[in-house]
Structure 1
Amino acid sequence: MNTSIVIADDHPLMLRGLTDFLTSKGFNIIGSATDGNAAYNLIVKLKPEIAILDIRMPHKTGLEIAEECQKNGLPTKVILITFDKEEELFDKAKSFNVYGYILKEFAVEEIETCIEHVVNGNPYFSEEIAEHLNCNLINSHLEELDKLTKSELKIVKLISDNKTSHDIANELSISIRTVDKHRSNIVAKLGLDNKPTSLSIWANLNKSNL
């Protein structure tokens, strides 16, 4: 479980709380920072597997750091913690390939589950955020669901259960290549963008409709 993590938050209590909590759970906290510049420098220098960032920090916001990481091809997966539920921020986070987005008031309850998902390459978003997002994100592709074949629907359902392509291939006794082909057909039919996390996020948000 020795996942390397950098944490940044400009609230010392939040920073200490999360650091102590994750350390006690056996995670390897290799650095912490109280502002965005320091956080980004730590990510560049230490290349942690995961960076847990407050969205609003001096010098650089968590979103700006995520954008820089994406632009510069850094392997670190970003988890944002925030009090914000605005759809615009959420959309930005998705476009910068952010893997996790959790609300501060649930951070300690959700962070472990979030890290577990992210380590396995699956995005994780607080349910509360999904609920607060305008329904248009959820409903905009629903009519497209009718275009999916039975097999594709089955795969979307498994993706919504956070199953990887490998899990799905095993479960349906098909090759990973076939799963990946289905995935790209589904992405095309739903009109999603090609980011690796888009389909998982969509499947998670639409779970109740699948």
Structure 2
Amino acid sequence: MNTSIVIADDHPLMLRGLTDFLTSRGFNIVGSAEDGNTAYSLIVKLKPKIAILDIRMPYKTGLEIAEACKKNNLDTKIILITFDKEEELYDKAKAFNVYGYILKEFAIEEIETCIAHVINGTPYFSEEIASYLNASDVSQKPETLDLLTKSELKIVRLISKSKTSQDIADELSISIKTVHKHRSNIVHKLQLDNKPSSLSVWASVNKEYL
């Protein structure tokens, strides 16, 4: 798991805590910063896959960095960590293509799940704040679901319950080969990448619509 990450937070303890935690989980922390200008320079220079940014920092806020990344077509995906629950901040975050938005008090608990979603190209917003997001983009039923057949939907439902291919074959009385065929059709229809975990992550993110 060699996802390159830059972390920025103007609270040294939070910065060190997150850096140590993610390093211990095998992530590749390529740079850290205590203010927005330094953070943005690191993103431009190192082009990390993900930047985890505090919203409120000296010189540049996490949102301003997200806006600059969008304007300059930088590929780094932004995750914001914050104590803020104001709706207007979420709207801005979504407008600037922010991929993750988690509350600081849950940062350590949620950061790995958030990163897994982001690597997969799926936005992740803390459950605690999802309720604040009125009809947010995150909570809409994915249109691609309508492309799946009844059998494929059954299989995705079982995948969302963490069932293995063998479990699914047993439960539906079909061969494991058929399950693999269905899985590959589903991945193709949902336009997911071919990583083994992509379909499981997608199924768990969209569980409520299955």
- Could you state the TM-score of these two structures normalised by the residue count of structure 1? 0.69
- RMSD (Å), alpha carbons: 3.4
Give the C-alpha shift of residue 179 in structure 1: 4.6
**What's the CA shift for 1:115?**
0.8
Which runs of 4 or more aligned residues in structure 1 lie more than 6 Å from their structure 2 counterparts after TM superposition? Answer: none
Aligned pairs for 1:85-100 (under 5 A) are 85-100=85-100
The Cα of 1:86 is off from its aligned counterpart by: 1.3
Would the alpha carbon gap of residues 133 and 42 (structure 1) be closer, same or farther in structure 2, given more than 3 Å must change?
Answer: same
Matched residue SS, 1:173 = helix
CA distance in 2, matches of 1:80, 1:8: 10
Q: Deviations over 1:92-143 (max 9, x none)?
A: 1111111111000000000011111111211111111102334x548x989x
Aligned to 1:110: 110
Shift of 1:10: 0.5
Identity of aligned residues (%): 71
Deviations 1:47-90 (A, max 9, x none): 01110000011110101101111111111110000111111111
1:1-210 superposed matches below 5 A: 1-134=1-134, 137=136, 170-171=182-183, 173=185, 176=188, 179=190, 208=208
Q: Which has the higher contact order (CA 8 A, sep 6+)?
A: 1
Distance 1:82 1:5 in 2: 18
Larger displacement relative to structure 2 (112-121 or 38-47): 112-121
Output the CA distance in 1 between the equivalents of 2:16 and 2:6: 12
Distance 2:76 2:146 in 1: 35
Q: Secondary structure of 1:14's match?
A: helix
Question: Residue by residue, what CA displacement relative to the aligned partner does 1:8-32 show, whole Å, maximum 9, x if unpaired?
Answer: 0001110011011111111111100
Q: Which runs of 5+ in 1 are unaligned?
A: 162-168, 181-199
> Residues 65 and 117 (structure 1 numbering): CA distance in 2 closer, same or farther, change over 3 Å?
same
* Residue identity matched to 2:22: L
Paired AA for residue 130 in structure 1: A
Who wins on radius of gyration, i.e. which is larger? 2
Report if aligned partners of 1:85, 1:133 keep a CA contact under 8 Å in 2.
no
> 2:7–2:32: 8 Å Cα contact kept in structure 1?
yes
Looking at structure 1, the residues matched to 146 and 48 of structure 2 have their Cα atoms a distance apart, in angstroms, of 40
Q: Is the 8 A contact 2:148 2:186 kept in 1?
A: no
Counterparts of 1:172 and 1:21, CA distance in 2? 35
Give the distance between the partners of 1:93 and 1:125, measured in 2 at CA: 11
CA contact (8 A) 1:86 1:133 kept: no
Unaligned runs of 5+ in 2: 161-180, 192-201
Paired residue total: 174
Distance 1:117 1:175, change over 3 A: closer
Q: Is the 8 A contact 1:66 1:96 kept in 2?
A: yes
TM-score normalized with structure 2 length: 0.69
8 A contact 1:6–1:50 mirrored in 2: yes
| Greater Cα offset, 115-124 or 45-54 | 115-124
Larger displacement relative to structure 2 (84-93 or 34-43): 84-93
Q: Hey, what's the Cα distance between the residues in 2 that align with 1:207 and 1:84?
A: 27
